[in-house]
Amino acid sequence: MDDRIMESSSSTFTDVASEHPKSIIHIDIDCFYAQVEMIRKPELRSQPLGIQQKNIVVTSNYEARKYGVKKCMLITDALKVCPNLKLVNGEDLHDYRTASNKIFAVLQTWKCPVEKLGMDENYIDVTNLVQERLKSINSGVTVAGHVFSEPSMDCPCGCHTRLKISSQVATEMRQKIYNELGFTTCAGIAHNKLLAKLICPFHKPNDQTTIYPEHGPLFMSTLQSVRSIPSIGSKTTEALISQKIITVSDLQKVSLDVLKKHFSSDMAVRLKNLSIGEDNTPVKQTGRPQSIGLEDSFKTVSVKSEVEERFAALLQRLLVLVREDGRIPVSLRVTLRKKDVKRLSSHRESRQCQVSPSIFTINNGTLTVTEAGQNKLMTIIMRLFNKLIDLTKPFHLTLVGLAFTKFQERMTGRSSIVNYLMNDISVQSVLNIQNDCDTSASSMDYSAASPSSSTTTDLSDAEVEPSPKKPKKVGLIAKRRCFSKEEVASPSKLRVGDLRLNSKELEKVSELRLNSRDRSLTPRASPAKDNLSDTSDTMKDVAEGGNCEDCPSYVDREVFNALPDEMQQELKAMWKNPSSSEVPRSSPRTSNRSKPNTLLKYFVPHK
Ligand code: DCP
Ligand code: MG
Ligand code: MG
């Protein structure tokens, strides 16, 4: 064992008043996919059940595990050990994803940071909640569930009591998940994420385990492979194995200096700390993913038409995910894994480009894509494919992937003026058709993504992306939409800004409306535009310089006149009675915080 590390660890253990200040819970759902199926069909509970994806059992219920059915077993092997195994196809992840989101939502009701990890795991940082509860606790707190090992002495920082309270919170959380959704779960409770996650399956299913900091090194030494440590990936594992460091115990014993010869200094220290159960990574509140993607892997595909079929199937599934998410995509990435038959190797390549928001429409609050829109997306996908593959030569693919990698935000609050304007989304849609992804070499923004970042439904957006608009275009759009270049990036402002139509654009909209049979082009909730002649009237107003006698000088009349009557009246009333709403003359981002969606902030004078 590295004495230096252990020494410093044990000396700080006694010296520092609050050495283990955090309280972390890790919750993992028992046999997740299988439980979703058993909740859906309770008769499955009493029989051994396997969830099948292609030729693999991705998970099984605990009944099947008694027979030796393991995760990722081949179907043939699983049926050998358990001939009665009932198989349910689990390739459609929709219901699993929905259940996962519901569990996340339940955990959020404690108002603590919750970090979602994959489909069935969540970290919850209950530090503040525990501090609150401590205030009203006078005596003896007992632990709920199992303990890895009873402590030999009390830790002066008081973490034992805090972790005991955390174990009670974990029980409450698991109980609520069970009561509301019917899932049994396991929990691990510790002073950091590493130990909470690793101790979680110590007693399973449907149970929980708490570990105290002093037992971190002992517990870690029981792990057979360094790969069991969550943040140690395959490359680090390989590098460690090449130095004959195979078990976590080996890692504890190797000196820091030896590790530093093979890893950066920071990495070496991190590895040593991990080996003794020390980890200070924070629980990061999970937001919405920065990209939504799907991949399909297969043995080999070498024909373009088959690639197209696979992309079409992926696109259908991806559109379901995007609809659930609700945001409007503005960028699409295509990923291929190419097999080099000569070298017996494979590598990933990605290309992406912008897609026009006009492909997506909002019908009754739901994001939809018409058949024409889907065809347009397929055209874009195949153009990107053509950029990635030299079709004059044979190709061999083992994976195709699709991901939407950037989104406009939809603001859906009732008070959101942006939301109100979105009822007229068809206006933007018509205008945005011009901005469609054009894959001709001169006008298309392409990027070759880094291969490592082409993961499915990745939560990070590490790729080097093309700038959303070319500089010249940005300037033009910023001008047209009355926002500065920097503000163009703000999706909500772009939407409102889209109403700043010049008379030519309005003519175009009007023409398109008159010619279009698409019912979606008829605005629903915009009183001034309930019929087409009203639109023409608006155009007339614009052509004549507007009818906004009451407008302050900084207001753009074209913008004002493009607004529905109701909104114009609302603005006029506000300008007449400024005390009712402060005009944000400075920054629209910072002023008028109490009314973040007030219309007035969109009428900021140009500097
Ligand atoms: N899963 C998958 N492919 C894998 C591993 C898991 O598709 N290689 C899916 C199926 C699981 C779900 O992810 O149900 C959650 O994975 P877990 O490792 O948590 O396994 P389970 O929840 O199924 O079982 P356990 O009770 O051991 O947590
Ligand atoms: Mg699980
Ligand atoms: Mg899991």
**% of the chain with per-residue pLDDT over 70:** 65
Ligand nearest to the CA of 122: 3
Interacting residues of 57 by C-beta distance below 8 A, sequence separation 6+: 50, 51, 69, 70, 71, 72, 73, 74, 75, 78, 85, 87
- Counting DSSP H helices and E strands in the chain, the numbers are 23, 17
* DSSP string across 324-360: HH-PEEEEEEEEEEEEETTTTEEEEEEEEEE--GGGE
**168 C-alpha to center of ligand 2: Å?**
21
The residue whose CA has the least distance to atom 9 of ligand 1 is 58
Q: How confident is the model at residue 362 (pLDDT cuts 50, 70, 90)?
A: confident
Rounded to whole angstroms, the Cα distance separating 607 from 604 reads 9
Tell me the chain's radius of gyration from C-alpha atoms: 29
Tokens of 379: 């055209």
* DSSP string across 549-582: TT--TTS-HHHHHHS-HHHHHHHHHHHHSGGGS-
Instruction: Establish whether residue 381 lines the binding site of ligand 1, counting it when its CB lies within 6 angstroms of any ligand atom.
Output: no
Beta bridge partners of 449: 350
Fold of 292-408: Dna Ligase; domain 1 (3.30.1490)
121 is catalytic: yes
Interacting residues of 319 by C-beta distance below 8 A, sequence separation 6+: 369, 374
For residues 605 and 396, the model is more confident at: 396
Instruction: Look over the chain and give the mean of its residue pLDDT values, rounded to a whole number.
Output: 74
Mean pLDDT of 393-403: 96
Task: Mean pLDDT check: name the lowest of 128-137, 223-232, 476-485.
Answer: 476-485
**59 C-alpha to center of ligand 2: Å?**
9
**pLDDT given at position 215:** 97
**pLDDT given at position 138:** 74
**Residue keyed to tokens 């609809």:** 323
The reply to whether CATH 3.40.50.970 applies to domain 2-30+94-220 is no
Instruction: Establish whether residue 185 lines the binding site of ligand 1, counting it when its CB lies within 6 angstroms of any ligand atom.
Output: no
Residues 28, 30, 31: CA angle, nearest 5 degrees: 120
Q: How confident is the model at residue 205 (pLDDT cuts 50, 70, 90)?
A: very high
Q: In the predicted model, is pLDDT for residue 246 greater than 60?
A: yes
Q: In the predicted model, is pLDDT for residue 514 greater than 80?
A: no
Q: How confident is the model at residue 427 (pLDDT cuts 50, 70, 90)?
A: very low
**109 C-alpha to center of ligand 3: Å?**
21
Ordered alpha helix ranges (H), 182-295: 193-199, 216-221, 234-242, 248-253, 256-262, 265-275
Instruction: Establish whether residue 205 lines the binding site of ligand 1, counting it when its CB lies within 6 angstroms of any ligand atom.
Output: yes
Q: In the predicted model, is pLDDT for residue 479 greater than 70?
A: no
**pLDDT given at position 539:** 27
Beta strands at 208-210 and 146-147: parallel, antiparallel or unpaired: parallel
**pLDDT given at position 553:** 60
Q: Ligand 1, residues 56, 59, 183: which to mutate, most atoms within 8 A of Cβ?
A: 59
Q: In the predicted model, is pLDDT for residue 46 greater than 70?
A: yes
Quick check: 447 and 352 in contact, CB under 8 A? yes
**pLDDT given at position 363:** 85
Tokens of 441: 């070499």
**170 C-alpha to center of ligand 2: Å?**
16
Quick check: 237 and 157 in contact, CB under 8 A? no
Which of these is catalytic: 37, 63, 115, 121? 121
**pLDDT given at position 605:** 45
Quick check: 190 and 196 in contact, CB under 8 A? yes
Tokens of 406: 């950037």
Given CA atoms 549, 552, 554, 559 in this order, what sign does their dihedral have?
negative
Instruction: Establish whether residue 41 lines the binding site of ligand 1, counting it when its CB lies within 6 angstroms of any ligand atom.
Output: no
Q: How confident is the model at residue 549 (pLDDT cuts 50, 70, 90)?
A: low
**Residue keyed to tokens 């058949």:** 371
Q: How confident is the model at residue 561 (pLDDT cuts 50, 70, 90)?
A: low
Quick check: 332 and 403 in contact, CB under 8 A? yes
First to last CA, the chain: 65
Quick check: pTM over 0.75? no
Q: Ligand 1, residues 75, 120, 184: which to mutate, most atoms within 8 A of Cβ?
A: 120
Question: b/e for 246-257, b at 16 or more Cβ within 10 A?
Answer: ebbbbbbebeee
**pLDDT given at position 105:** 95
**pLDDT given at position 19:** 86
Instruction: Establish whether residue 54 lines the binding site of ligand 1, counting it when its CB lies within 6 angstroms of any ligand atom.
Output: no
Rounded to whole angstroms, the Cα distance separating 329 from 360 reads 8
The residue whose CA has the least distance to atom 12 of ligand 1 is 32
**211 C-alpha to center of ligand 3: Å?**
19
Instruction: Establish whether residue 120 lines the binding site of ligand 1, counting it when its CB lies within 6 angstroms of any ligand atom.
Output: yes
Q: In the predicted model, is pLDDT for residue 257 greater than 50?
A: yes
**Residue keyed to tokens 């009712």:** 580
* Residue 131 DSSP label: H
Quick check: 24 and 278 in contact, CB under 8 A? no
Tokens of 87: 């198989």
Q: In the predicted model, is pLDDT for residue 345 greater than 80?
A: yes
**pLDDT given at position 575:** 67
For residues 471 and 197, the model is more confident at: 197
Rounded to whole angstroms, the Cα distance separating 552 from 573 reads 12
**59 C-alpha to center of ligand 1: Å?**
6
Interacting residues of 205 by C-beta distance below 8 A, sequence separation 6+: 30, 31, 62, 184, 186
Tokens of 29: 């759902």
Beta bridge partners of 86: 49
Instruction: Establish whether residue 96 lines the binding site of ligand 1, counting it when its CB lies within 6 angstroms of any ligand atom.
Output: no
Mean pLDDT of 333-340: 95
Rounded to whole angstroms, the Cα distance separating 191 from 24 reads 6
Sorted by where each begins, the domain ranges of the chain are 2-30+94-220, 292-408, 415-499, 524-607
**Residue keyed to tokens 């979105």:** 422
Ligand nearest to the CA of 121: 3
Which helix (H) or strand (E) is 404 found in, with range?
A: strand 397-408
Instruction: Establish whether residue 71 lines the binding site of ligand 1, counting it when its CB lies within 6 angstroms of any ligand atom.
Output: yes
Instruction: Establish whether residue 28 lines the binding site of ligand 1, counting it when its CB lies within 6 angstroms of any ligand atom.
Output: yes
Q: Ligand 1, residues 29, 32, 35, 294: which to mutate, most atoms within 8 A of Cβ?
A: 32
Same fold for the domain at 2-30+94-220 and the one at 292-408? no
Closest residue by Cα to residue 114 from 232, 187, 24, 30: 24
Q: How confident is the model at residue 511 (pLDDT cuts 50, 70, 90)?
A: very low
Q: How confident is the model at residue 76 (pLDDT cuts 50, 70, 90)?
A: very high
Q: How confident is the model at residue 458 (pLDDT cuts 50, 70, 90)?
A: very low
Q: How confident is the model at residue 236 (pLDDT cuts 50, 70, 90)?
A: very high
Q: How confident is the model at residue 111 (pLDDT cuts 50, 70, 90)?
A: very high
Q: In the predicted model, is pLDDT for residue 443 greater than 70?
A: no
Angle between the N-to-C axes of helices 159-181 and 127-135, in degrees from 0 to 180, rounded to the nearest 10: 110
Q: In the predicted model, is pLDDT for residue 438 greater than 90?
A: no
**pLDDT given at position 343:** 83
Atom in ligand 1 nearest the alpha carbon of residue 62: 26
